[in-house]
Structure 1
Amino acid sequence: MSLLRLFSTFFCVAFLGAGAQALPAIDVETVVRNVNVITWDGQRARVQPQQSIAIRDGNIVAVGDNVAGSEAAKVIDGNGGYVMAGFTEMHGHVPAAVSFGGMPERYADDMLYLYIANGVTTVRGMLGYTDQLQLKRDIAAGTRMGPTLVLAGPSFNDRTVTSPEQAAERVREHVAEGWDLLKIHPGLQLDEYRAVAAAAREAGIDFAGHVPLEVGIDVAMAEGQRTIDHLDGYLRYVGAIDRPVTGAELSQLVSMTVESNTTVVATQALWATLIGAGDARQLAAYPEILLVPQPVRDGWLEYYPRQGSSYFNADTAAIQQENRQRLLKALYEGGATIIFGTDAPQLFSVPGFSIHHEIRSMQDAGIPLEAIYYTATAAASDYFAESHDLKIGHVAPGYQADFILLKDNPLESAAALEQPRGVMVRGQWLDRATIDARLEEIKAAYAAPPHTQP
């Protein structure tokens, strides 16, 4: 070997060896090491191998292959597992901070825990109750365990709105009370809805939810409704409730959505149950229903025999469900913005556990698994970046330390999500043993007395 080549070889080895040294230790509380981090390049998922995540004050401060914390930092060994950003539930329901409707006092805390036990670290609550804002403050202050909450106030509907003038005044009241957005429910008349929309735009607050029958999705889109939740308003608009939706109608609906930049929250699994397209025996066998109070559970189990909803129609349920699935696929393929939501807790839709049923429904509609995860993480991040000071949905410096640690790669199978090794929520670590112990405690608290067990 020539002297020049020998010198060059020595220089390269020395340079690479220096580059491989760890950076100086970072002053952080927690370091999660030896993990494969799922990140987003546009809408494509990327797996970054052999990473460490440094966390301080509830936020991620560094991610990389040479991150080290100070001696005082807690170190969590990920054992080669996979880390994905925590899910956002874009149409969830949050109990009141105080006992109501005969529910146990612990009910609110239990339902909040069920969300985070399944890696749901942010919830956009879509129906405000008394003292619910206190829950949000308690969670933000660290005095109560739960997902980050973004809350709509009590809904705008035909029982709470009496005129356009009163509707506009109610918007201003919600802003003054501190709600994050306005919830639209069925029943509003067109002039009342327009008054809500105008007052919301003036106040700079989002309005979202259902599309009232007297309004229609064309008006909702034109008025700037931030999200259309569920797909019933779409099907009503083209009259495809009791007949198959046509290809031309699907194209029209997709074009309207994309051109208006409207976001969709589909909630497919819950609405299949609600309209009567679910399998009653399969629903009753969901093990997680033992995690809700017995009166709630009994009401769910009686739903199909009772047919107790204005949405339920056994004659058209199968057609409606097929239309919903075809519409969701068309919206995805047409480039519409879709954000993940499950409408929990409602019929057999237990907080957190409901994500697994929604993922399956979306896959059945033809949505790739990678795209589903995007709707639940990065797409939600984009939504909140536009209207809230909230950094979620990514495992990256500057974002909240909200993520799920999984044994297997979730991009290969959604089954990887069902038993997370642990969940990080705003920098607080919950390992599998801790989660399991709390779930068992909740189940025991809501167990029916022996003589009334079903």
Structure 2
Amino acid sequence: MTRPGLLFAALLAAAPAFAAVRSGDVIVRHATVVDVEHARTIADQAVVLRGENIVAVGADREIARGWRAAQTLDAEARYLIPGLWDMHVHFGGGPELIEENEALLPLYLAHGITTVRDCSGDLPGQVLAWREAIAAGRLAGPRLLTSGAKIEGLRPVWKGTIEVGNRTDVDAALARLQEKDRVDFVKITDSTLDPPLFLYAVSRAKERGLRTSGHIPMALTVAQAVDAGLSSIEHIDYAYKAGVKDEAAIAADFAAGRIERAEANRRLDGGFDEATAMAAYRELARRGVSVTPTLNGSRILAYLDTDTHADDAYLAYIGPKLRKTYDWRIERAAKASPQAIAARHAHFERMAAVLPMLQRAGVTIIAGTDAGFLNSFNYPGVGLHDELTLFVERGLTPAQALAAATRAGPAWFGTLDRYGSVSAGKAADLVLLERDPLRDIGATRSVAAVIVKGRVHERRALDAMLDATRRKVAAWNASAGR
């Protein structure tokens, strides 16, 4: 064979090897991947990102041989987890607080939270606009899933609602939320909403294919709300209520006006029965109803007598007008008698004791903070890590707590095919940690880098986000004369 022929043959033989080298935008090398689903770690892995997607995951040596990318991030054996989700947050306080609320968005990213579920405040239109701006890349923040305006009765306690007084109103509200606002789910609350109309709203939302969460009226049992189609129970108090042996009688007495709310709460507090609870929780698990405990917010309020939070360093990230919304709960707690304070502590401890029971029954526990306006010292961003710490302190394993913050949210929205693991085909929303969260849930605080929609934010960039919010708050404090 002539020399040119030999050269051609050599190139032809080598062509498959050249063709096998594929390109991505980012390669994360030498990572210890945390497989949350199976509670295990896989050492020395590489993860290839292209656009907003993970396109390959495998042994570092194999990926390095077959892939190239414009950017390489050496994980140096750090721990790579799916992005964290905070499934219960609020934005609000009125139009004059829009700027202060917007400044909270980067706090979530800086703490590894790549998705939040807004459970409605009094700025629903603004939140919808932020959702679109974040999705389009015009605004820095976590992916925002929102209920838009919540459904309530006439003349409700809470602002930012769609008021409904009859079934026609409910149907119109659901049509607006689904067709005009294109909400991600529906929030239904109970300050003035008639209980039968609550059940109608839940059932009609389900018929429309909309997931629902809400506050269950005292005049209804948890089982009635679940039968109507409620998708998630927000706040562990309602899960506790489902474990009260005489729940139906208490609900009936309240509905008939035979007892006031204080007496209903007293009977509920004293009526918990473990056998009743476990049967109810197994039914929740069978029906696919999740529970978002929001323990951290309850703990903060219960123990304001022992920790006033006045010296919290994190207050540097909370604007003065938002801090002002904390006052009414702080003042109420300060006026409590010693007996009321003791009752407050005991109530929280009773509620928190339900958490491991839910886990044993197979209920999907969702991590959500209730962070936002009104909820004193329950901070956006770091609050999720506080919630996970409480989960473990109160009986979950670190693996179970981590699943509540990475897989339970996607499971609730039906998007586990897209989120919740570090694997090919999933969204490139990832967090790199300094330590192993399966050994110590506190490791979720040790954020080395956050990847959102394929874009890498290393620690320096995350610190810059925090600094930008801190400087804004300092300027607002100066203007307010703080």
Displacement of 1:174: 0.9
Report the CA distance shift for 1:350/1:63 in structure 2 as closer, same or farther (over 3 A): same
Distance of 2:110 and 2:178 partners within structure 1 = 32
Q: Does 1:79 align with 2:84?
A: no
Aligned to 1:153: 148
Which deviates more from structure 2 when the two are superposed, residues 111-120 or residues 182-191?
182-191
Displacement of 1:279: 5.1
Report the CA distance shift for 1:384/1:234 in structure 2 as closer, same or farther (over 3 A): closer
Displacement of 1:71: 5.1
TM-score normalised over the length of structure 1 = 0.85
Match of residue 360, structure 1, among 376, 389, 396: 389
1:156-171 to 2 correspondences below 5 Å: 156-158=151-153, 159=156, 160-171=163-174
Aligned to 1:216: 221
Match of residue 85, structure 2, among 84, 88, 92: 88
| 2:27–2:71 CA contact under 8 A, matched in 1 | yes
| 1:50–1:80 CA contact under 8 A, matched in 2 | yes
Report the CA distance shift for 1:251/1:137 in structure 2 as closer, same or farther (over 3 A): same
Which deviates more from structure 2 when the two are superposed, residues 133-142 or residues 31-40?
133-142
Match of residue 46, structure 1, among 40, 63, 66: 40
What amino acid maps onto 1:77 in structure 2? Answer: D
Displacement of 1:94: 4.1
What amino acid maps onto 1:256 in structure 2? Answer: E
Give me the identity figure in percent.
26
What amino acid maps onto 1:339 in structure 2? Answer: I
What amino acid maps onto 2:457 in structure 1? Answer: L
Give deviations 1:234-265, integer Å, cap 9, x for gaps: 33452665437332343243233234331111
TM-score normalised over the length of structure 2 = 0.81
What amino acid maps onto 1:67 in structure 2? Answer: I
> Alignment length, in residue pairs?
423
Report the CA distance shift for 1:116/1:221 in structure 2 as closer, same or farther (over 3 A): same
Unaligned residue ranges in structure 2 (runs of 5+):
1-16, 157-162, 248-266
Unaligned residue ranges in structure 1 (runs of 5+):
1-20
Aligned to 2:348: 321
Aligned to 2:359: 332
What amino acid maps onto 1:124 in structure 2? Answer: R
Aligned to 2:250: none
Relative to its length, the structure with more helix (as a share) is 2
Aligned to 2:468: 441
1:161-310 to 2 correspondences below 5 Å: 161-177=164-180, 178-187=182-191, 188-237=193-242, 238=244, 241-243=268-270, 245-274=272-301, 276-278=302-304, 281=307, 283-300=309-326, 303-307=329-333
Report the CA distance shift for 1:335/1:309 in structure 2 as closer, same or farther (over 3 A): farther
What amino acid maps onto 1:172 in structure 2? Answer: A
Displacement of 1:451: 9.5
SS in 2 for 1:410: coil
SS in 2 for 1:113: helix
What amino acid maps onto 1:37 in structure 2? Answer: V
Distance of 1:171 and 1:288 partners within structure 2 = 38
SS in 2 for 1:89: strand
Give deviations 1:2-31, integer Å, cap 9, x for gaps: xxxxxxxxxxxxxxxxxxx99943221111
Report the CA distance shift for 1:273/1:186 in structure 2 as closer, same or farther (over 3 A): farther
| 2:86–2:113 CA contact under 8 A, matched in 1 | yes
Report the CA distance shift for 1:298/1:153 in structure 2 as closer, same or farther (over 3 A): closer
What amino acid maps onto 1:176 in structure 2? Answer: E
Report the CA distance shift for 1:71/1:207 in structure 2 as closer, same or farther (over 3 A): closer
- When the two chains are superposed, the root-mean-square deviation of aligned CA atoms in Å is 2.8
